[in-house]
Structure 1
Amino acid sequence: MIVVHTRVRCHAQHRDAFIAILKHLQDATRREDGCLEYSYVADLDDECLFLGVEEWRDEAALRAHLGAPHMNDPDSRFDAYSRDAETVRVFTAQPFDL
């Protein structure tokens, strides 16, 4: 399994538009083959900071996602609303029971 963590922060005055774009990306991505989890969550201390949590069946599914139309649609870009550069960390993971 591939796990991706993203951190992105928006300008406060653009928070609603920013969330609308994140919601669009989340909804479209969850329908992709190989997507196990795709969620954005707001930070409890900074209402403009969002963490994206993704889980993909394999690297091929993640690469297909990066080329998906909704990922490359100009209406899906949130750069104009971002306060900082997005950070992305990609991991390979093996689930286990505690």
Structure 2
Amino acid sequence: MIIINVLLKVKPEKREEFLVFVEDLVSKSRQDEGALFYDCLESLDTKNQFMIIENWRDQAAVDLHNETAHLKKFIVEIDQYLAADKELKKIAYPE
């Protein structure tokens, strides 16, 4: 299994637009082959700080996801919503 966490610090004035934007990514990514879990959650302690949490069956599933139109759109457009650089952490567990 592969776990990917992406920390996103969203500009307060872009919050509502971001929520609509990320919902599109989440709903489509949940349908991707090999997606075990995919969601975007907000910090309880820090307003406008979000974490995309992804669990994938294997690297092949991640590779397929990385080629989807919805992820490519996210990568191209996400920076307009962010107050800081995104932070990505990836953990791979042996099968």
TM-score relative to the length of structure 2: 0.91
How far is 1:72 from its partner?
1.4
Q: Deviations over 1:22-63 (max 9, x none)?
A: 111000000101000001100011121001110000001001
Equivalent in the alignment of 1:26: 26
Structure 2 unmatched ranges of 5 or more = none
CA distance in 1, matches of 2:48, 2:67: 27
Q: Deviations over 1:54-98 (max 9, x none)?
A: 000000100111110111127972210101111111101369xxx
Pairwise mapping of residues 1-98 of structure 1 onto structure 2 (< 5 A)?
1-73=1-73, 77-93=77-93
TM-score relative to the length of structure 1: 0.89
Structure 1 unmatched ranges of 5 or more = none
Aligned residues: 95
CA change 1:72–1:53 in 2 (3 A) is same
Q: Percent of aligned positions with the same letter in both sequences? A: 23
CA distance in 1, matches of 2:55, 2:31: 13
CA distance in 1, matches of 2:45, 2:77: 25
Structure 1 consecutive aligned stretches of length 4 or more whose deviation exceeds 4 Å: none
Q: What amino acid maps onto 1:44 in structure 2?
A: L
